[in-house]
Amino acid sequence: MMVSFDVKSLFPNTPIKPAIHQLEVWLNKFNTTIDWRAKVRQYTKLASLCMGENYFTFREKFYKTTAGVSMGNPISPLVTEMFMAYVETIIEEKGIMPRIWFRYVDDVFAIVEKDRVDNTLTEINRIHPKIQFTIEKEEHGSLPFLDLRVINNSGKLEFEIYRKPTATQRTIPATSAHTATQQMAAYNSMVHRLCTYPLTKDGFNKERMFILDTAIKNGYTVEEIERLIKRKKDQIWKNQQSTLFEQESTLADTKWVSIPLSNDFYRIKSLLGKYNIKVVGSSRDATLKKQLGSEKDPLTEGEKSGIYKISCNDCEMVYIGQTKRLITTRFQEHLKEVERGERRGANTVRSSVAMHVIEEGHSVTRANLELVREVNKPHTLDAWESLEILRKDAAKLMNTDGGNCASRLIKKLADKYRDRTTH
């Protein structure tokens, strides 16, 4: 009998310490030298730190995850996979492993003797108290597994595409303002699955008709979908004849960029295409999430990082700076430089703000600190800082240079936006 096992809430129920131990065991299999074992101990300690120190905030309170591995942690899938491999090893050692057992993360396809199905489920649920499986048995010779329906046809397994009863035929309509690439993304995915999965002839025709019907309901033509199918078949045929076609697409030095959709999108795409740069249209600025804002507790201005401005309390001079940390933390460092300069002399300070305060006898307070631009991508800080510096009147700046990115392009942008209040 075909069955599928599913682990209940795999991530929240994966025990961290035993899972990290399995990671250590796996790493030690590669080498037995003392130096390697010392490195493995370091790796496992770092992994434990990354897996154990998981905090989040809710309504201005801090919480720590106390059970399982956290969602979104890059190490969680690896650690979880290690522990599931350990569970499978125990199943084999106990002699209860079915003859056919294929697992994808927490979903298992298995073929078990009919009179041992319930007993097998009971036995594998005894392996570890946290790892518990549920079971789904084949009905009328078929079993849905992931996005396939596996059919037992007189001992021969056949496949069809499976969709949940709640699935709809809704895709990006042809009348939307998305790019052609985005509009056809869902159909490219369905066509790829149609042409690459080992479907029966009836299963192929059934899925093809479903794709065509979906396309028509969303405003596309049959001809558009047929072109996608033909192109995919031609690509598969070419790759079967020679590996040169795959090498050309793999070795190409292609760069990808994402830009917001606008009237100039296709003109920019055509221009950058000459330099082997692929352009993808983005509607992120028009998404509902963007319009509604974040569901997290809002940060105050002092809790943000990016480009900041410090104004003198006694004159019109200003300072433009950047920081990856909180702007209030960086402001406190400027104040400490002022104190240091007053004790040891102005020539000992490294802050332009402190130099101005000491030489002019002026002052700055927390009220003089302002966030000019919140920047969440550290690699763009230099460019934004230089742009903000060059936009200001040089005669009213405490800064002694144009920043680390005062290129000709930045200077032209600064001249263009010099008199604007928003950009």
Kindly report, residue by residue over 303-349, the tens digit of the pLDDT: 899 999 999 999 999 999 999 999 999 999 999 999 988 888 878 88
Pairing of strands 2-7, 133-137: antiparallel
Q: Are 6 and 129 in a shared domain?
A: yes
User: Do the beta carbons of residue 125 and residue 133 sit within 8 Å?
Assistant: yes
User: Does residue 3 sit in helix, strand or coil?
Assistant: strand
Q: Last residue of a domain, which of 266, 290, 314?
A: 290
pLDDT, residue 83, reads 93
Q: Are 228 and 282 in a shared domain?
A: no
Say if residue 276's pLDDT is above 90.
no
Residue 247 backbone phi and psi in degrees, to 5:
-65, -40
Q: Are 235 and 267 in a shared domain?
A: no
Listed as own residue / partner, the contacts of 130-133 with beta carbons closer than 8 Å and 24 or more positions apart are 130/13, 130/14, 130/15, 131/7, 131/10, 131/13, 131/14, 131/83, 131/84, 131/87, 132/7, 132/8, 132/13, 133/5, 133/6, 133/7, 133/8, 133/108
pLDDT, residue 246, reads 58
Give a yes or no: residue 339 inside a domain.
yes
How far from chain centre, in Å, is Cα 267?
Answer: 29
Q: Are 23 and 102 in a shared domain?
A: yes
Handedness of CA 257, 260, 261, 266 (dihedral sign): negative
Give a yes or no: residue 185 inside a domain.
yes
Q: Are 23 and 116 in a shared domain?
A: yes
pLDDT, residue 254, reads 73
Q: Are 104 and 193 in a shared domain?
A: no
User: Do the beta carbons of residue 88 and residue 97 sit within 8 Å?
Assistant: yes
Residue 379: give its domain's CATH number: 3.40.1440.10
Q: What percent of the chain has pLDDT over 70?
A: 96
Q: Are 122 and 12 in a shared domain?
A: yes
Q: Are 274 and 396 in a shared domain?
A: no
The total domain count for the chain is 4
User: Do the beta carbons of residue 194 and residue 208 sit within 8 Å?
Assistant: yes
d(CA 240, CA 238): 5
Give a yes or no: residue 158 inside a domain.
no
Residue 133 backbone phi and psi in degrees, to 5:
-105, 145
Give a yes or no: residue 422 inside a domain.
no
Residue 283's domain comprises 255-290
**More reliable by pLDDT, 269 or 194:** 194
What does the pLDDT average to over 42-55?
Answer: 88
Q: Last residue of a domain, which of 120, 137, 154?
A: 137
**More reliable by pLDDT, 56 or 375:** 375
Say if residue 410's pLDDT is above 60.
yes
Q: Are 338 and 230 in a shared domain?
A: no
Give a yes or no: residue 423 inside a domain.
no
d(CA 25, CA 190): 41
Say if residue 89's pLDDT is above 60.
yes
Give a yes or no: residue 149 inside a domain.
no
Give a yes or no: residue 145 inside a domain.
no
Q: Are 311 and 358 in a shared domain?
A: yes
pLDDT, residue 371, reads 94
Say if residue 32's pLDDT is above 70.
yes
Say if residue 286's pLDDT is above 80.
no
Among the residue ranges 176-180, 236-240, 284-288, 300-304, the one predicted with the least confidence is 284-288
Q: Are 260 and 364 in a shared domain?
A: no
Q: Are 63 and 20 in a shared domain?
A: yes
Q: What percent of the chain has pLDDT over 90?
A: 57
Q: Last residue of a domain, which of 106, 137, 168?
A: 137
DSSP 70: P
* Secondary structure (DSSP) of 263-300: TTHHHHHHHHHTTTEEEEEE-GGGSHHHHH--SSPPPP
Give a yes or no: residue 128 inside a domain.
yes
